[in-house]
Amino acid sequence: MVPRKIAAGNWKMNGDLAALSQLDQMAGSIDGGCDVVICPPALLIHPMASKAAPGIHVGGQDCHAKTSGAHTGDLAAAQLHDAGATHVILGHSERRADHAETDADVSAKAIAAHQAELITIICVGETEDQRDSGDTLQVISGQLAGSVPDCATAANTVIAYEPVWAIGTGRTPTDDQIAEVHARLRADLSDRFDDGAQMSLLYGGSVKPANATQIFALPHVNGALVGGASLKAADFTPIIQALSKA
């Protein structure tokens, strides 16, 4: 079995009810050649899932590691599932930076998400300083080992490589840099998990219609986690189509 191809959109803290109209146009471009997931702000999960745009899965952007309790402002994985989410992004670099999330936190959240039957999209990525210091592969392997729990399988876990310096900047690594990290991710996952060769590996960081085809042609790149270019159908649709054809 080859890894599933996945185009995932991370809307971050953008979008409102009116933005759901973008889904109709996106849905028109889906031909089954890849999975499509949109992760909107939590308030939009239920209305988005209820729209039932054909072929579009809906995901959260974070969940709590506990199942319920006194955690003001947080959401349990089962609540995301109840609202219609099938996926959840975990360990995004903005969560790691803004909320001091550690690898252990991400792993605990992933266990909770799997118990709630959510597919986790677990993010790893080096800072610019770490890349400049030559530490990229060591950082990536460490984050992967610490953030992905033992209960991960190809069915419940997707890994997104997102260099922190490439997110929202318009800068992307070279093809060789992306391929090098994805090869390391594949090797680490294959060493640790029986079905590690089947886990989907996404690249994320300034993916646009103009660079999607080139990125999707790289070895061990099974799709993308897309921020800014996932907000508008005019941008996300060509990315979905490029992945479908890859």
Active-site residue list: 92, 162
Distance in Å, CB of 150 to ligand PEP, minimum: 26
Distance in Å, CB of 233 to ligand PEP, minimum: 16
> In 28-159, where does DSSP find H-type helix?
45-51, 77-83, 93-98, 103-115, 128-132, 136-147
User: For the residues of 17-48, what is the DSSP string, one character each?
Assistant: GGGGHHHHHHHTT--SSSEEEEE--GGGHHHH
Q: Residue 52's CB: how many other CB atoms inside 10 A?
A: 12
Minimum CB distance to ligand PEP smaller for 12 or for 32: 12
Minimum CB distance to ligand PEP smaller for 175 or for 195: 175
Strand partners, 38: 9, 58
Residues at the interface with ligand PEP (CB under 6 A): 10, 162, 167-168, 204-207, 225-229
Helix orientation angle between 209-216 and 233-245, rounded to the nearest 10 degrees = 20
Which residue sits closest to ligand PEP, CB atoms considered?
227
Measured distance CA(120)–CA(148) in Å, rounded:
9
Minimum CB distance to ligand PEP smaller for 148 or for 224: 224
Distance in Å, CB of 49 to ligand PEP, minimum: 21
Distance in Å, CB of 63 to ligand PEP, minimum: 17
Minimum CB distance to ligand PEP smaller for 125 or for 196: 125
